[in-house]
Amino acid sequence: MNKEVVLQVKNLKTHFTTSKGTAKAVDGVDFTLHKGETLGIVGESGCGKSITSLSLLRLIPTPPGKIVEGEILLNNKDIVKMKEEELRKVRGNQISMIFQEPMTSLNPIIPVGEQIAETIRLHQRLPRKPAWQKAVDLLEMVGLPSPEKRAKQEPFQLSGGMRQRVMIAMALACTPEVLIADEPTTALDVTIQAQILELMKDLQKQIGMSIIFITHDLGVVSEVCDQVAVMYAGQIVEHRNAKDLFKTPLHPYTQGLLSSLPNIHENQQELQTIEGSVPSPYDYPVGCRFADRCPHAREICRAEAPDLLETNNAETKVRCFMHTEKWEVIEEKEELVCP
């Protein structure tokens, strides 16, 4: 708990204004990231994970998107309020990103070495030659075979796994304090996935950066993350230490996600899935956003929206009435009402 705070996000709201109305893709997200820590952000597709991560570097396409509220404090400086100039010094330097699609995230007509070297030239003011050499070294560091040769190649000449390694090398070029990885392994084969995860863990140890690891795959989270934030409908619904979360999930949504996790030991045929779907970001319910799918939902869940509150343990936060004092009171009342 005494660890140094690197990044603190407070009440972040990113909304999209389209012809269909306002999509509240990210709608009040709070979290704190400590030095050297890996925070996993999980949740079903469409919950706002990618938009959250893009918001951190203000990479939201504007219009239609806009950060309408909140603070993103990097070492106590608010990214939301930064000028373009200042922001560019953060991007790729203090905070860098890896994206889901290694196929499309690299420029198809620029040699991969140059794509890495240009970042180095920009942020570290190195001349061409040394910057190139550093790019080659980085490629070697991420385990790309014959890096000299590969550096001169264009992305189409590399496999998906190699491209993701290039992306990682690019992201680490300026030894960032925070690395945001948005589903970095989703598009890859299982064996390649494992290699990439291994690589990221190794590099984290070497460089000592913090990682925000976004995924919809809880299996991956259990392997790499220290802390986990579970996102649902634009909000964080549970934020805890990874071990505890997997042992005793508190939020009904987390419980649902965990029970839909394939069990490696028994060859389960059918996975349990949470019935229903994520509510549209254009039109969230008034009360708890999970109420329509929650097996425990009560009257109050539809009438009032629960807050993200610390429970008995200060390091555990949950957004659910079940874990508040209100719940007991209501339960008693309802028992009175129902015969």
Partner 1 sequence: MLLFIAKRLVQIIPVIFGVTLVVFLIMQMVPGDPAAILAGEGASQETIEQYREDLGLNRPVAEQYMSYVSNVFQGDLGNSLKNKQPVLDEILLRLPITMELAFYSILITIVLGLAAGIISAVKPYSIRDVSVMVVALLGISLPSFWLGLLLMYLFSVKLQWLPVAGWDGPLNIILPALTLGVGGAAIVARMTRSSMLDVIGQDYIRTARAKGLKEHFVIYKHALRNALIPVITVVGLQFGSLLGGTVLVESVFAINGLGRMIVDAIRTRDLPMVQGGVLVASLVFVFVNLLVDVLYRAVNKRIDLN
Residue of 11, 62, 104, 277 interacting with partner 1 (CB under 8 A) = 104
Residue of 49, 163, 317, 319 interacting with ligand ADP (CB under 6 A) = 49
Of 45-53, 137-145, 153-161, 241-249: span binding ligand ADP (CB under 6 A): 45-53
- Residues of span 266-295 touching ligand SF4 by CB under 6 A: 288, 290-291, 294
- Residues of span 214-273 touching ligand SF4 by CB under 6 A: 252
Of 31-39, 102-110, 227-235, 298-306: span binding partner 1 (CB under 8 A): 102-110
Query: How many residues does the structure list for the chain?
Result: 339
Give the Cα separation of 332 and 304 in Å (integer): 18
Residue with Cβ nearer ligand SF4 (161 or 306): 306
Gyration radius from the chain CA atoms? 21
Note whether 45 binds ligand ADP by CB under 6 A: yes
Where do we find the tokens 């039109």?
A: 283
Helix ranges, the chain (H): 49-56, 84-90, 112-124, 128-141, 147-151, 160-172, 190-207, 218-224, 242-247, 252-259, 299-303, 325-337
DSSP letter for 270, please: S
Of 47-55, 117-125, 138-146, 205-213: span binding Mg ion (CB under 5 A): 47-55
Residue of 5, 194, 258, 297 interacting with ligand SF4 (CB under 6 A) = 297
- Residues of span 39-98 touching partner 1 by CB under 8 A: 54, 57, 59, 61, 84, 87-93, 96-97
Q: Give the contact letters, 133-172, x = binds to ligand ADP (CB under 6 A), - = no.
A: ----------------------------------------
Q: Which residues pair with 67 in a beta bridge?
A: 14
Note whether 63 binds ligand ADP by CB under 6 A: no
- Residues of span 48-107 touching Mg ion by CB under 5 A: 50
| Diameter of the chain measured on Cα atoms | 81
Count of residues that bind Mg ion according to CB under 5 A: 1
Find the residue with minimal CB distance to Mg ion.
50
3-class secondary structure per residue, 165-181: HHHHHHHHCCCCCEEEE
Give the Cα separation of 313 and 100 in Å (integer): 34
CA 101 to chain centre: 15
What are the counts of helices (DSSP H) followed by strands (DSSP E) for the chain?
12, 12
Note whether 186 binds ligand ADP by CB under 6 A: no
Which own/partner contact pairs does 305-311 have at CB distance under 8 Å and 24+ positions apart? 308/30, 308/235, 308/236, 308/237, 308/239, 311/250
- Residues of span 170-189 touching partner 1 by CB under 8 A: 170
Minimum distance between the CB of residue 317 and partner 1, rounded to whole angstroms? 29
Give the Cα separation of 174 and 92 in Å (integer): 7
- Contacts with Mg ion by CB under 5 A lie at 50
- Contacts with ligand SF4 by CB under 6 A lie at 252, 288, 290-291, 294, 296-297, 301, 306, 320-322
